[in-house]
Structure 1
């Protein structure tokens, strides 16, 4: 029964979302080919979403067959004169055409029309990504953290270079940065490479040469990935809550301990500990903590708990019973909205507007985007649950460049070192600009990764195939529709880039042939093109097999 439930969970959470996302991207890609082809006067025989036998369809007044096919792993536009869905020319049919028909065939169209029609598919994918990001920025905005270092990992690259807590990161390799995420993205793609980090300390700017170290990280869904790290974090990995009777409590861990390392591995954030422990239920480990300036090694064995992943599969995970943040109100600003609403020190916040929270920081991020709007906090006090309504007050926070901006605040903290957060909103033009920047960042990041693989800085096992895409689709679905759209935008860029590769059978391969034709003054011979298509098909098939093997290896390894 358990395996059956797991299969049903996988199909429900992963495959359905995967088919939705892929169908959207394929439709947009092929619609790019279709629209420019029609505009160029090329006759279109079929527009198919999916491959294989037709499930349903209709023929429009232009003679184009619009159809839904049984295998939802792609799609195609078949032009007049094409032999098959790969746009390979039917030489015999082309030779038998009248001049009028030849002019309306794909092979008989002018070179620039063919090139524009082929390029329109990948371009449509880039436009879709920009549009999705623009809508997300416009509707949701985003909450970002200022690039201020709160903690430096011992013996990490940043510590070795001389970076200190309190430093404000202002530039990397001469490029200004305004958020902590920008720093992480840049560093993550440059393991083993020299970078120059410019920081502001005591009003002065200083340059530090740093070489990020390659580490294997794990996201919230358990997906492993390689990235560069220099050993800095937004907050200290402090233990705030220790479960009574748990492994950590029995080993002597106390509230206020600073997590330093686990089994000798440096800790950058609390979640480094959580992920490491989750993978080791029942296995002995050593947690290194700092207390009152002294370092202590504490041995413990994580207890075994049952958890369900995004696919509905149950698995055993380890837990030692500690938390970096207990959603307890540790301080209330005098005259603040929280004080006026009756919130008290020691209240445990359970939810905000019905959304369960696990940290005061989540409350702060939520209210930051809602100045002047009433929110409801559910708090636990003396064993009773109370609903308290509070209106966040507009407060000014300087951004990374010192410009004042308004956020919502209710005046509570959890007593930990504060993180400088700001909520950014965007008008239509700003959102569009950010969409272009985000898309460009994905493109450059993809090339950086490929360069890292070729240069030996990273392994190629990060390349994923349909299984991984389906899995990620399901995981994004658990986070909400906006997360699915964001994933679709990222995947749309990837599909656009993949199709622009100069490999026969892909759009980039066709464009390569057209470039050769422009230079030679005539197209390559049918024999040469046939051989090239066979080689291209073998290359694409090999890439798919390699990517699928990576998918399978990651699931069983």
Structure 2
């Protein structure tokens, strides 16, 4: 019983707290833009399945918290299901007074705006959280100066020398040695361009970090890039840097751009044979990571929430029917053709998308539990 309570408090509650906020923000993006465009909204649900708590607002929307807290949805009047598949029967028989408020009867550009608002809300949440943390806490940095270059390493082959000051990696500004480590670590077996200053001379060196497996503080295996350098031990000054409100905007945007670029590169690795399926995570792995990060404090958990929000926003933009990106694909096709795709084509796409998303969920769940538990992938 004690172990169960510990598991519940350590993993499940932090995970559900993080996921609920992310889902609520995502669906609120859809909801607000739909309301601004005069769409009648039938249901706003956090979670799926049986309703646990619910109430109706003055606009006729049913707000509900459902039994399965692994997602959520906004259902517009005239939708066939939670995936916002339009019901042609309802559209034909709707009260003429309500017809203009149906989502399906809005212009294609209004529908695009409503669908895109969910992922946009996730990106906005990430920006606001990272921006607030940067302004509130600043960041500790160590001068980005190379100390030792390991003999026979990737760095030595690329021409790095002791005393080099790192300026940027792949166009991302390096403000401290920790930036340099992070940019390299997130690029295993991918070329990176490093801008540096050597005795007043600007140089650009290109190298490919080797992929290595390391164990983090929680005992999880991570695949990272390594080039074989260490920081200058003489540069021991750890400084707290607090950017101004305007500079913090640029730093936060750059951080979000970096996360998006590295996430896209991570997904791209699987198409060229460099991907490591052990790094894919589903709900079990996210719950585990949430619990581990929660032990580091509330600030660390909030930071994780911001990163997960951004990744969920990106994932939802994939052009897969059932996801927001699939809907956007249909609507852009409609905008180009001047008329919607046939219901048969849309239905086939939704079935394919459902099967694909379900297969991905099953695979990540299997990867989280069976593979990780028995060490099959190690």
TM-score normalised per structure 2: 0.93
Moved more, 449-458 or 45-54: 449-458
Structure 1 residues 9, 234: CA separation in 2 closer, same or farther (over 3 Å shift)?
farther
- Report deviation, 1:176: 4.8
Structure 1 residues 58, 206: CA separation in 2 closer, same or farther (over 3 Å shift)?
closer
Note if 1:505 corresponds to 2:322. Answer: yes
Note if 1:227 corresponds to 2:224. Answer: yes
Query: What residue in structure 2 maps to residue 544 of structure 1?
Result: 361
Q: Deviations over 1:443-498 (max 9, x none)?
A: 11101112222222332321110001101111111111110110000000011011
Query: What residue in structure 2 maps to residue 421 of structure 1?
Result: 238
Distance 2:202 2:255 in 1: 28
Given candidates 316, 328, 338, the residue that maps to 1:521 is: 338
User: Is the 2:46–2:66 Cα contact (8 Å) retained in structure 1?
Assistant: yes
Distance 2:178 2:271 in 1: 26
- Report deviation, 1:525: 1.6
User: Is the 1:225–1:462 Cα contact (8 Å) retained in structure 2?
Assistant: yes
Matches within 5 A, 1:346-357: none
Distance 2:78 2:178 in 1: 50
Query: What residue in structure 2 maps to residue 151 of structure 1?
Result: 148
Matches within 5 A, 1:476-515: 476-515=293-332
Structure 1 residues 162, 526: CA separation in 2 closer, same or farther (over 3 Å shift)?
closer
Count the aligned residue pairs.
374
Is the helix fraction higher in 1 or 2?
A: 2
User: Is the 2:39–2:102 Cα contact (8 Å) retained in structure 1?
Assistant: yes
Structure 1 residues 99, 454: CA separation in 2 closer, same or farther (over 3 Å shift)?
same
The structure having more radius of gyration, on CA atoms, is: 1
Matches within 5 A, 1:16-415: 16-172=13-169, 176-234=173-231
Describe the SS at the equivalent of 2:104. Answer: coil
- Report deviation, 1:156: 1.7
Distance 1:173 1:71 in 2: 42
Moved more, 19-28 or 203-212: 203-212
User: Is the 1:462–1:550 Cα contact (8 Å) retained in structure 2?
Assistant: no
Given candidates 244, 249, 270, the residue that maps to 1:453 is: 270
- Report deviation, 1:120: 0.5
Describe the SS at the equivalent of 1:63. Answer: coil
Distance 1:486 1:522 in 2: 43
User: Is the 1:49–1:75 Cα contact (8 Å) retained in structure 2?
Assistant: yes
- Report deviation, 1:68: 0.9
Is the strand fraction higher in 1 or 2?
A: 1
- Report deviation, 1:147: 1.1
User: Is the 2:145–2:232 Cα contact (8 Å) retained in structure 1?
Assistant: no
Q: Deviations over 1:270-328 (max 9, x none)?
A: xxxxxxxxxxxxxxxxxxxxxxxxxxxxxxxxxxxxxxxxxxxxxxxxxxxxxxxxxxx
Distance 1:418 1:520 in 2: 61
Q: Which consecutive unaligned segments of at least 5 residues does structure 2 have?
A: none
Q: Which consecutive unaligned segments of at least 5 residues does structure 1 have?
A: 237-416
- Report deviation, 1:418: 4.1
Structure 1 residues 107, 214: CA separation in 2 closer, same or farther (over 3 Å shift)?
same
Describe the SS at the equivalent of 1:47. Answer: strand
Describe the SS at the equivalent of 1:456. Answer: coil
Q: Give the RMSD, CA atoms, in angstroms.
A: 1.9
Query: What residue in structure 1 maps to residue 372 of structure 2?
Result: 554
User: Is the 2:172–2:258 Cα contact (8 Å) retained in structure 1?
Assistant: no
TM-score normalised per structure 1: 0.64
Moved more, 436-445 or 146-155: 146-155
Distance 1:426 1:171 in 2: 18
Describe the SS at the equivalent of 1:125. Answer: helix
Structure 1 residues 452, 96: CA separation in 2 closer, same or farther (over 3 Å shift)?
same
Query: What residue in structure 2 maps to residue 298 of structure 1?
Result: none
Q: Deviations over 1:412-447 (max 9, x none)?
A: xxxxx4424221113333333322222221111101
Structure 1 residues 206, 426: CA separation in 2 closer, same or farther (over 3 Å shift)?
closer
